[in-house]
Amino acid sequence: MSQSAPPPQPGPVGAGPYAQQAPAGLPYPPQPGAPGGMPMAPVAPAPVRGNPALGLVAAVVAAVVAAGLYGLIIGATKHEIGYAAVGVGFVVGLAAGKAGGRNAVLPIASVVLALVSVYFGQLVGEAMIGAKATGLGFSQVFFDHFDVVQKAWKEDADPLTFLFFAIAGFAAFSAARKAAR
Protein backbone atom coordinates (compact mmCIF):
# COMPACT_ATOMS: atom_id res chain seq x y z
CA MET A 1 0.00 0.00 0.00
CA SER A 2 1.72 2.95 -1.12
CA GLN A 3 0.23 6.33 -0.80
CA SER A 4 0.86 9.10 -3.22
CA ALA A 5 0.04 11.81 -0.68
CA PRO A 6 0.94 12.20 3.01
CA PRO A 7 -1.73 11.26 5.50
CA PRO A 8 -4.05 14.09 6.50
CA GLN A 9 -2.97 16.23 9.50
CA PRO A 10 -5.31 16.29 12.46
CA GLY A 11 -7.47 19.39 12.36
CA PRO A 12 -8.14 21.83 15.17
CA VAL A 13 -10.08 20.54 18.15
CA GLY A 14 -12.63 23.34 18.16
CA ALA A 15 -14.11 25.20 15.28
CA GLY A 16 -12.40 28.26 13.86
CA PRO A 17 -8.97 29.08 12.44
CA TYR A 18 -7.45 30.01 15.86
CA ALA A 19 -8.49 26.90 17.77
CA GLN A 20 -5.88 24.92 19.67
CA GLN A 21 -4.19 21.85 18.26
CA ALA A 22 -4.86 18.42 19.67
CA PRO A 23 -2.38 17.52 22.41
CA ALA A 24 0.50 15.39 21.25
CA GLY A 25 2.74 13.12 23.31
CA LEU A 26 6.28 14.05 24.28
CA PRO A 27 8.87 13.10 21.67
CA TYR A 28 11.06 11.52 24.37
CA PRO A 29 10.40 9.58 27.57
CA PRO A 30 10.14 11.57 30.82
CA GLN A 31 13.36 12.02 32.80
CA PRO A 32 13.73 10.23 36.12
CA GLY A 33 13.46 12.27 39.33
CA ALA A 34 16.36 13.32 41.54
CA PRO A 35 18.05 10.49 43.39
CA GLY A 36 16.68 10.11 46.90
CA GLY A 37 18.36 9.43 50.19
CA MET A 38 20.39 12.63 50.50
CA PRO A 39 19.16 14.85 53.32
CA MET A 40 18.89 18.58 52.81
CA ALA A 41 21.17 20.96 54.68
CA PRO A 42 19.61 22.26 57.88
CA VAL A 43 18.05 25.69 57.67
CA ALA A 44 19.78 28.37 59.75
CA PRO A 45 17.64 29.66 62.60
CA ALA A 46 16.21 33.14 62.26
CA PRO A 47 18.14 35.80 64.16
CA VAL A 48 16.70 36.75 67.50
CA ARG A 49 15.07 40.17 67.25
CA GLY A 50 12.86 42.22 69.45
CA ASN A 51 14.87 42.57 72.66
CA PRO A 52 14.04 46.08 73.91
CA ALA A 53 16.36 45.83 76.93
CA LEU A 54 19.31 45.13 74.67
CA GLY A 55 18.23 48.00 72.43
CA LEU A 56 18.14 50.41 75.37
CA VAL A 57 21.58 49.30 76.57
CA ALA A 58 23.01 49.70 73.08
CA ALA A 59 21.41 53.14 72.76
CA VAL A 60 22.84 54.27 76.12
CA VAL A 61 26.33 53.10 75.16
CA ALA A 62 26.03 54.81 71.77
CA ALA A 63 24.77 58.00 73.44
CA VAL A 64 27.73 58.13 75.84
CA VAL A 65 30.26 57.54 73.06
CA ALA A 66 28.55 60.00 70.70
CA ALA A 67 28.38 62.69 73.41
CA GLY A 68 32.11 62.35 74.00
CA LEU A 69 32.91 62.55 70.30
CA TYR A 70 30.55 65.49 69.77
CA GLY A 71 32.17 67.29 72.70
CA LEU A 72 35.62 66.64 71.25
CA ILE A 73 34.53 68.09 67.90
CA ILE A 74 33.09 71.20 69.56
CA GLY A 75 36.14 71.61 71.78
CA ALA A 76 38.53 71.27 68.85
CA THR A 77 36.66 73.59 66.46
CA LYS A 78 35.05 75.94 69.01
CA HIS A 79 31.84 75.73 66.95
CA GLU A 80 28.71 73.62 67.00
CA ILE A 81 28.45 71.54 63.86
CA GLY A 82 24.97 70.54 62.74
CA TYR A 83 26.05 67.42 60.88
CA ALA A 84 27.70 66.15 64.05
CA ALA A 85 24.37 66.53 65.90
CA VAL A 86 22.67 64.59 63.10
CA GLY A 87 25.35 61.94 63.48
CA VAL A 88 24.73 61.71 67.22
CA GLY A 89 21.01 61.17 66.67
CA PHE A 90 21.58 58.70 63.86
CA VAL A 91 24.07 56.60 65.82
CA VAL A 92 21.84 56.43 68.90
CA GLY A 93 18.76 55.51 66.84
CA LEU A 94 20.65 52.97 64.76
CA ALA A 95 22.00 51.23 67.85
CA ALA A 96 18.56 51.10 69.46
CA GLY A 97 16.83 49.82 66.32
CA LYS A 98 19.40 47.21 65.32
CA ALA A 99 19.86 45.75 68.78
CA GLY A 100 16.28 46.10 70.01
CA GLY A 101 14.22 45.29 66.95
CA ARG A 102 10.66 46.47 66.47
CA ASN A 103 9.37 48.02 69.64
CA ALA A 104 7.30 51.17 70.09
CA VAL A 105 9.39 52.35 73.05
CA LEU A 106 12.78 52.31 71.32
CA PRO A 107 12.31 55.23 68.88
CA ILE A 108 11.03 57.45 71.69
CA ALA A 109 13.80 56.37 74.04
CA SER A 110 16.37 57.00 71.32
CA VAL A 111 15.03 60.55 70.88
CA VAL A 112 15.42 61.23 74.60
CA LEU A 113 18.89 59.69 74.68
CA ALA A 114 19.96 61.63 71.59
CA LEU A 115 18.82 64.92 73.16
CA VAL A 116 20.69 64.14 76.37
CA SER A 117 23.73 63.09 74.35
CA VAL A 118 23.77 66.31 72.32
CA TYR A 119 23.35 68.36 75.51
CA PHE A 120 26.22 66.63 77.31
CA GLY A 121 28.32 66.77 74.16
CA GLN A 122 27.85 70.53 74.08
CA LEU A 123 28.73 70.72 77.78
CA VAL A 124 31.89 68.69 77.16
CA GLY A 125 32.78 71.08 74.34
CA GLU A 126 32.18 74.11 76.58
CA ALA A 127 34.35 72.54 79.29
CA MET A 128 37.14 71.88 76.78
CA ILE A 129 37.02 75.49 75.58
CA GLY A 130 36.98 76.71 79.19
CA ALA A 131 39.90 74.47 80.12
CA LYS A 132 41.98 75.84 77.24
CA ALA A 133 41.10 79.43 78.18
CA THR A 134 41.85 79.11 81.90
CA GLY A 135 44.75 76.67 81.81
CA LEU A 136 42.94 74.24 84.12
CA GLY A 137 42.43 70.57 83.35
CA PHE A 138 39.28 69.39 81.60
CA SER A 139 38.13 67.19 84.47
CA GLN A 140 38.63 70.00 86.97
CA VAL A 141 36.55 72.40 84.86
CA PHE A 142 33.86 69.84 84.04
CA PHE A 143 33.41 68.27 87.47
CA ASP A 144 34.46 70.99 89.93
CA HIS A 145 32.98 73.96 88.06
CA PHE A 146 29.97 72.35 86.40
CA ASP A 147 27.77 75.34 87.27
CA VAL A 148 30.14 77.63 85.35
CA VAL A 149 30.06 75.25 82.37
CA GLN A 150 26.24 75.28 82.36
CA LYS A 151 26.19 79.05 82.68
CA ALA A 152 28.57 79.34 79.71
CA TRP A 153 26.36 76.97 77.72
CA LYS A 154 23.27 79.09 78.47
CA GLU A 155 25.09 82.24 77.35
CA ASP A 156 26.26 80.60 74.12
CA ALA A 157 22.90 78.97 73.34
CA ASP A 158 21.08 80.47 70.40
CA PRO A 159 18.17 79.30 68.21
CA LEU A 160 20.61 77.27 66.12
CA THR A 161 21.55 75.28 69.22
CA PHE A 162 17.94 74.21 69.70
CA LEU A 163 17.61 73.45 66.00
CA PHE A 164 20.48 70.98 66.43
CA PHE A 165 18.52 69.36 69.26
CA ALA A 166 15.47 68.98 67.02
CA ILE A 167 17.51 67.59 64.14
CA ALA A 168 19.25 65.08 66.40
CA GLY A 169 15.91 63.94 67.83
CA PHE A 170 14.41 63.52 64.38
CA ALA A 171 17.46 61.60 63.16
CA ALA A 172 17.31 59.30 66.19
CA PHE A 173 13.60 58.58 65.72
CA SER A 174 13.97 57.91 61.99
CA ALA A 175 17.06 55.74 62.39
CA ALA A 176 15.50 53.65 65.15
CA ARG A 177 12.39 52.94 63.10
CA LYS A 178 14.23 52.15 59.88
CA ALA A 179 16.89 50.00 61.53
CA ALA A 180 14.26 47.85 63.21
CA ARG A 181 12.79 46.62 59.92
Q: Going residue by residue through the chain (181 aa), what tens digit of pLDDT does each one get?
A: 566 777 666 655 555 666 666 556 666 666 676 666 556 777 777 665 678 999 999 999 999 999 999 999 999 999 888 889 999 999 999 999 999 989 999 999 999 999 999 999 999 999 999 999 999 999 999 999 999 999 999 999 999 999 999 999 999 999 999 998 8
115 vs 151: CA distance, rounded Å: 19
DSSP 59-106: HHHHHHHHHHHHHHHHHHHSS--HHHHHHHHHHHHHHHHHHH-S-SHH
162 vs 156: CA distance, rounded Å: 11
11 vs 15: CA distance, rounded Å: 9
